Amino acid sequence: METNGHDIRGVWTRGADPQELVLSDGSRLLLETGLGGNGEAGWHRTDGRDDTAGHLSVPEAFDLAGDAYNDYVAVRTRAEAEWLRAISEWCRAEAGRLEHGLAHAA
C-alpha cells in the first residue's frame, strides 16, 4: 500500500506473543476475532483510535506486511482458522450432548 508517495510496510512485531505488526507509518496491523462489533474475525489496521480502525482482507494484510512479515500474517491467519475450527467442533459436540440429554428426558 502507498500513502503520500511512500510504501507502508511492517517494521516489527509487538507483544510477548506478537499480537500486532507495527507498520512504518506507526499504525498497527492486528488479527481480531469475532468478539468485536462487526462479529467477524479478520485483519484490522488502526492507529489506536476507534474512528480510524479499518477491516482488511487477507491479501491486503499481506500487502501491508511486506515481504519481511508475510509469514507472520500467514501463520496468524492459519492459527486463527484452526482455532475457529476447534471451537466449532467443541460446540458441535456440546450440542449433541444436549440433544442426547433432551431425548432421554422426554
Task: Say if residues 65 and 13 touch (Cβ distance below 8 Å).
Answer: no
Residue that is written with C-alpha cell 494484510 in the block: 61
Tens digits of per-residue pLDDT, 17-47?
667 888 888 888 888 876 555 667 789 888 8
- What's residue 39's pLDDT? 63
- What's residue 33's pLDDT? 72
The mean pLDDT value for 5-15 works out to 70
Q: Which domain holds residue 75?
A: 2-105
pTM, to two decimals:
0.71
Tally the domains of the chain.
Answer: 1
Tens digits of per-residue pLDDT, 47-103?
866 666 788 899 999 999 999 999 999 998 998 899 889 999 999 999 999 999 999
